[in-house]
Chain A
Amino acid sequence: MSASAETILKVENLKTYFPTRKGMFRAVDDVSFEVKRGKTLCIVGESGSGKSVTARSVLQIVDAPGRIEGGSIQLTRPDGSITDLAQLNPRGQEIRAVRGNEIAMIFQEPMSSLSPVHRVGDQIAEVLKLHFKLSRKERRQRVIELLQQVEIPDPEKAIDRYTFEFSGGMRQRVMIAMALACNPALLIADEPTTALDVTTQAEILDLIRKLQQQNGMAVMFITHDMGVVAEIADEVLVMFRGKVKETGSVEKIFHDPEDEYTKNLISSVVKLEKKAEVRAEQLDASTEYKPLLEVSDLSMVFDNGHHAVNNVSLTVHSGETLGIVGESGSGKTTIGRCLLRIYDPSSGRIDFKRSDGSVCEVAGANKADLKAVRREIRMIFQDPVGSLNPRKTVGQIIAEPLNLMGVKGRELEEQVCALMEQVGLPPSWRERYPHAFSGGQRQRIGIARAISVKPRLIIADEATSALDVSLRSQMLDLMMQLQDELGLSYLFISHDMSVIRYMCDRVAVMHRGKIVETGETHQVINNPQHAYTQALLSAIPNPDPLDRRLHNRFRFAPEVTA
């Protein structure tokens, strides 16, 4: 069992189990892999596949009641000695000397993974204090160096700031600085870019690669995003329900996958790389569009003076899907909320064509009109957990808008059943509560609730962002199918270009409260005019390891900040 000199970490037959009331849950079941010096291993899989637990097992920081039940985790030190981390006491001195020093880790949520009440400098310095004997002054010097290394502007000042004073990308940089403080031989990155925008993600991936080359460290990168895998991986490990499905070089996984699950995973990503087939065909048939919703010069200024939406005009035609794409903070969600008057816009007109042909100006509508309009414009939310009342059954949730319309008794029951069938849920499940459903199923419930009152426009705010890739395309297909059946229009708000490309007829690109470009989706994507659109497009990871886009991406110079 001799590892080659290049192997830093060799995991064999790792088993991490979680005892539950129903028996042992095998989160990681017989997983083996190797990480080599200077190389990147990507562990990829859907949520619940055990990839995160695998990473945490290496450092023995699996959340209780999880336990390593078997296998070995062999860490090779530069002097050639080998330690089996799986044998160490998880609270002991030996494993603590490894953590943060030889193996460092960064996490998904840069917001909650850092303490909100300690200065960032102190949090980084703490690692140095633990593992090196440095004076206070030397530590501070080193922290400033690290902050410089991760390209945080003005490190002398940033060192005394708190995490909530930073943006998501900056926080992730702080995390990276903390992880790099002791020059670890192995960096474990657990979905470090999932919570970030594409452009920020590209910046962070760039940074990790650069630092990896400088320090010659190995990286173990956990992600569910095949695009990211293709961009950065040398080796790939595909996991599904705690087991390894396939392992191999990144070229092999993408171009010659053997396992059925891997094939599906790759194809569901590649599927999103182009227009949906249903829509591609319709492109030729020139349909005549009638405007359904016309927004002109809409502005929204919040009480704190923040100009979230700045003179935005857009049109949604009946039967079409308009995408609004932009980074977080670009004001796209605010637009959606203004349209339903969840926020009262500061100025501008919102003309909505009612089903009876009359035009209603939503921005200045009175209560009765607003109520009627809200019946015709519905919303689907991003978070399928938070947007469903946990104390109501699914039947009650879907029935609620119908209830408000006065539908009662048997008719109500029948309509709820029909709706559930329409979105692909068995009607017999209507007595269950939302927690009994998976993320994808919950989003179906949200869709059923939205279409229950036969709306004509649906505002989908990041409706698929919280879902795994394989579910994402299913959900988009369902939405398009419903669009054809019910003659719906969609206003599709997303930060994900691939989703927009798959689904939308036209797209509006938003940047800092303004629409910088509008056009037919294929035109905007194939021939972007505005520099920001170009930067946004080039920051999207390409799911093909032979054509890595991020290496030579275009940066939108003045404002691209992580």
Chain B
Amino acid sequence: MTTLMADWASQGGAVEQGTVAALRERYGLDQPIYIQYYKWIAGIVTAGDFGLSFEYGRPVAELIWGRLGYSFLLAVLTLCFAWAVAIPIGILSAVRQYSIGDYVTTFLAFVFLALPNFVLALAVMYVVSTYFGKSVGGLFSPEYADAPWSFGRLWDLITHIWLPVVVIGTGSLAALLRIMRANLLDELRKPYVTTARAKGLSELKLLIRYPVRIALNPLISAIGWILPAAVSAEILVSVVMSLPTTGPLLLRALLSQDMYLAGSLILLVSVLTIIGTLISDILLALADPRIRLQ
């Protein structure tokens, strides 16, 4: 608050004394930090009031909602992408252990694990814009950016969103792939696989129905940590790719010490994480009777 006051003052003292006093009164800004915190949380819980962004001079809730939707969409799509690609490749990599394909995917997985997303983002943007001549910043082309929803706008979103999804997802994808491979390798050696084979099942059916089915369980619990990982990766990537998500907003809020905006964003990200963990726990219980019944 003090920094902000100093800022405002230095900008020409255009702040009316009354506004400041009203702010102080409303958020208890002259009181100790725990009372400020209590007032803020109480406001959120009772009235959905996330406070006021000092930087933008608008309520935080108003600023966030639009962007949070895109953030969430991006996180979910990233998760789906990572799962959809990691599982089949992980299965192939495990079933053909020590084949050329396995070595190649292992190598690539480690490269993508080690590569920071924003570097990948820069590289991909460069390649796409130079060689394919497409607009790569943001989630929309300029002509659709502020247009109302239509099929054209949706299609525009689809043509744009795959790039950030791929960029944010590759890290998680590589991690999931390694987990899937390791799990499946463990499961493939279990005696119940031999039992299933002795029944006369074909190899493909057997693979899907028994070891893969069981190897998926740890992957379900991975949702809990993939979601926050995707969100934090998204912050950096969306700054680089200038996406209309919460990432750039959070960065700016932190730089300008916009307390309520930054706090609310971090709070919402934390809530998302907890919800993600809860969902993964529920899914895991549905998928695995050992967890459900013991």
Contacts and interface: CB of A to CB of B under 8 A. Distances in A.
B294 interface: yes
Interface string B186-221: 000111101111111111000000100110010000
Interface in B239-294: 287-290, 293-294
A7 B192 CA distance: 30
Interface in A99-116: 99-101, 104-105, 107-109, 112-116
Nearest to A162: B289
Given A63-B194, A112-B191, A117 B200 contact: no
Contacts of B201: 96, 126, 130
A175 B190 CA distance: 16
A131 B287 CA distance: 28
A116 B200 contact: no
Given A117-B213, A164-B290, A109 B199 contact: no
B276 to A, nearest CB: 23
A500 B141 CA distance: 83
B202 A96 contact: yes
Contacts, number: 76
Query: Which residue of B194, B213, B293 has the most chain A CB atoms within 10 A of its CB atom?
Result: B194
A98 B194 contact: no
Nearest to A114: B192
A180 to B, nearest CB: 12
A113 B195 contact: yes
A367 interface: no
A59 interface: yes
B191 A116 contact: no
A61 B290 contact: no
A63 B198 CA distance: 12
Given A96-B202, A162-B289, A61 B191 contact: no
A117 B199 CA distance: 17
Contacts of A109: 191
Given A99-B197, A100-B198, A116-B214, A91 B203 contact: yes
A117 B190 contact: no
Contacts of A97: 200
Given A91-B203, A164-B290, A113 B197 contact: no
Given A116-B290, A117-B214, A127 B199 contact: yes
A101 B202 CA distance: 14
A56 B193 CA distance: 13
A109 to B, nearest CB: 6
A108 B190 CA distance: 12
Contacts of A118: 210
Interface string A55-93: 010010101000000000000000000000000000100
Contacts of A239: none
A43 interface: no
Nearest to B189: A63
B290 to A, nearest CB: 6
Given A98-B200, A162-B293, A117 B288 contact: yes
A99 B199 CA distance: 5
Nearest to A115: B192
B290 A112 contact: no
Contacts of A116: 192, 214, 289-290
Nearest to A98: B200
Given A99-B197, A162-B289, A113 B214 contact: no
Interface string A26-67: 000000000000000000000000000000100101010000
Contacts of B191: 107-109, 112-113
Interface string B5-37: 000000000000000000000000000000000
A210 B287 CA distance: 38
A165 interface: yes
B60 to A, nearest CB: 45
Contacts of A101: 200
B194 A107 contact: yes
Query: Which residue of B210, B289, B290 has the most chain A CB atoms within 10 A of its CB atom?
Result: B289
Given A100-B199, A113-B191, 12 more contacts: A63-B194, A100-B198, A104-B198, A107-B195, A112-B190, A113-B195, A114-B192, A115-B210, A116-B290, A117-B214, A130-B201, A131-B200
